[in-house]
Structure 1
Amino acid sequence: MNYTIANVIAQLFRIYNILIIIWCVLSWIPRGSGVIEDFRGAIGMLVEPWLNIFRRFIPPLGGIDFSPIVAIFALEAIERLLLAILL
């Protein structure tokens, strides 16, 4: 039972990490209208609240936002902590 819950939690964290990466890639595409902009907005609604936590402490350096990298590392740490508690 614990392994099933741990697998579900690990998968959810992986999906969220992938969403952060997709959001970063989509941020390189010029803004426009259409499906890509709608997709970017939907992912942004899921990802940006988490990223905004780190943007308060990490300003962009040279126009590059490093908060997604720190956010992914923080998610990994939280995932490991949860899995250590469960297992």
Structure 2
Amino acid sequence: MNLLITTLATFVTFYSYLLIVRVLLTWFPTINWYNQPFAALAQITDPYLNLFRRIIPPLGGMDFSPMLAIILLQIVGGGLQAI
């Protein structure tokens, strides 16, 4: 059981890092999200981010859904590490 919880906590941490990289890369408008490795990053992170984009649509050109997604992952990761 301990191995499962540790693995899940590690996955949540790694996925949080992927989301942060995804958000940072959106600051560069010349990135083509259809080329590798950016397409793979988008395929991995977009399904999770789309859940939050339905809740919080972009306001004034700013997408706040990644912030909510990362906060939720941090809460889950903290809960897993506390166990």
TM-score (norm 2): 0.80
5 Å-filtered alignment, 1:1-87, equals 2=2, 4-32=3-31, 37-82=35-80, 87=83
The answer for unaligned runs of 5 or more in structure 2 is none
Q: Secondary structure at the match of 2:55?
A: coil
Deviations 1:37-80 (A, max 9, x none): 42221111000000000101101122111100101112223334
Paired residue type of 1:11: T
Structure 1: gaps (5+ residues): none
Q: Distance in 1 between matches of 2:55 and 2:73?
A: 16
Q: RMSD between aligned alpha carbons?
A: 2.2
Q: Which has the larger radius of gyration?
A: 1
Structure showing the higher helix proportion among its residues: 1
Q: Supply the distance in 2 between the matched residues of 1:82 and 1:32 (Cα, whole angstroms).
A: 35
Compute the displacement of 1:16 (Å).
0.2
Question: What is the CA deviation profile of residues 8-44 of structure 1, one whole-angstrom value per residue up to 9, with x for unaligned ones?
Answer: 22111110000001011111112355xxx42221111
Number of equivalences: 82
Letter in 2 for 1:5: L
- The DSSP-based 3-state class of the residue aligned with 1:38 is coil
Identity of aligned residues (%): 38
